Structure 1
């Protein structure tokens, strides 16, 4: 399941980071610190998200 989780993380990490960076830009946070924090939070949040998605996919098979 670790392999499936890592594949899900490769998709979820950049997606969530991009969503949070877009949200920061919409809130007029154009400084570098805000962009780095938004990207880091997106990549950190993607860890449990990818694990949950991989578990649900593994349960289907």
Structure 2
């Protein structure tokens, strides 16, 4: 399951971090700190999302 979660995290983490960066840019946070905080927030949020998706895929 850890291998599956690791592979999924590559995709889910980059997707959520990218979406958070785009949201930050749309809201006007176009400085370096705003972009880095948005990327870190998306990366941190991707851990529980990855765990939930991997668990659902592993059970089926």
Which of the five TM-score ranges fits, normalised by the shorter chain? over 0.9
Give unmatched runs, 5+ long, in structure 1.
none
Give 1:14's aligned residue: 14
TM-score, normalised on structure 1? Answer: 0.95
Across the aligned residues of Structure 1 and Structure 2, the Cα RMSD in angstroms comes to: 0.5
Deviations 1:16-46 (A, max 9, x none): 0000000001101110000000000111111
* Deviation beyond 3 Å, 4+ runs, structure 1: none
Equivalenced residue count is 60
TM-score, normalised on structure 2? Answer: 0.96
Counterparts of residues 45-60 of structure 1 (less than 5 Å) = 45-60=45-60
Shift, 1:10, TM fit = 0.5
